[in-house]
Structures are given as C-alpha cells and as structure tokens.
Amino acid sequence: MSNQNIVSTPQLTPTSSKTQIPTLTLVIDPGTSCTKSIYAKGRRGKPKFLVSSAVICPTSVEPNSEASYIKLPEEEQYYLVGYSAVQAKVKSSVRQLKSESIIPKVLGVVGQIAQEESLPKQFQLKMTLLLPMSEMIERDFVESELTQALNNFNYSGIDYQVIPTSIRFRPEGRGIYTYLSRLTSPEEINNQTLVVATRNVRFVSR
C-alpha cells in the first residue's frame, strides 16, 4: 500500500462583522461674516449649532501644531481656518464668490466637528450647502470638487477620508423666496412666508 501525504487545511476563523461607519449630517451657510452650521452625529444625534470664522488664509509656510489648517495632498500651500486665520489678520472679501472659497471652508468645518466629536478618520457625510441664487449654477462643479477634496484631506495634522453619501444645495436669503415660488403659488407665499435675510440673520418662517 502506497503512502499518502495528508495535508491538513487550517480552519478559517470566521470574520467579524465590519465596524459600522458613523454618519455626520451637516447643513452649512458659508456667510461672508461667519460660517454657520447645524450638525448631528448618527441617526439619533442631538442637533448642534456651530459658528466659525469665514476667513480663509492661504500660506506656503507649514503651520505650527496648535494651528487649525487644511492641507490637500495635491496642493503645496496650506489653508489656515477658524481662529488661526483670524490671528493672521486676513480680512474676508465680500466680493469673493462663495463658491470660490467654499472648499476650504467646508473642510475646515468638517475637520473641526470631527475633532470635537471624536469621529474616526473615516466616516460618511450627508451635507446641505446654502448658496446665493446667482451661484447655484455652479453647484455641479462645486459638488465634484468637494467630493474629491473630502475623500482625502488633512485637518491640523490628521488625515481624513470622508465619504459623501449626499451633497445637496439650497438657495440662501432671497433665493429661498425664489425657490419657494417655484413650488407653490405667489399668493400662498405672500400670505404665509416671512423671509429675513441679513449678513448675520437668515431664516424662513411659514
């Protein structure tokens, strides 16, 4: 009888279930005087309000460990955000289109929330952005640029990979009135809608 080599096959250990990736729900109004945000962590998270500086300060000098900044892998410069940008004494330009500065502003808000809420380096994001009605035409371009930037950015020394599951755009200020006028009759809007829109106050009451 010939000898047979018996090869033992190691038993595979059952793989553990994947860790659930948390979801951040975020609404941002990137104003010229300040950036106002409302966010909630997870499905049952309590909504929180965040006000941060609207100032963005590009710099080619690497910030110190205490600074708040954004760094994109394909760019050589850094973007100081929040109080660090204010300390750099840079004035926010009212003439600058909001769609032109929205990328570092959004990344700054997302990074700040991620650190304050102890979010992991990878999480999902459902986001709504308010833009002037005149800039809504740029929303497809802004969405594409934001999606790419969120996938890989550095906030104050920590690398984040954020998965945007939804990016929506809504008009701000008078644009809210214009947007509503497309959905309902002018009489109903005039009778039931109050729009308050200044640089520091913006809401709709129906």
Q: What is the pLDDT along the chain (206 residues), one digit of tens a residue?
A: 444 444 443 443 443 345 688 999 999 998 777 889 999 998 888 899 999 887 788 888 899 888 999 999 989 899 998 888 877 765 554 445 555 678 999 999 999 999 999 999 999 999 999 988 888 888 999 999 999 999 999 999 999 999 999 999 988 765 555 555 555 555 554 544 444 444 444 444 44
Same domain for 205 and 153: no
- Co-location of 160 and 94 in the same domain: yes
Q: 189 is in which domain, residue-wise?
A: 173-206
For 6, left (φ over 0), alpha (ψ -120 to 50), or beta?
A: beta
User: Do residue 159 and residue 127 come from a single domain?
Assistant: yes
68 part of a folded domain: yes
Residues 194 and 99 in one domain: no
C-alpha distances out from residue 96 to 51, 73, 85, 93, 172, Å = 20, 25, 17, 5, 16
- Could you give the number of structural domains in the chain? 2
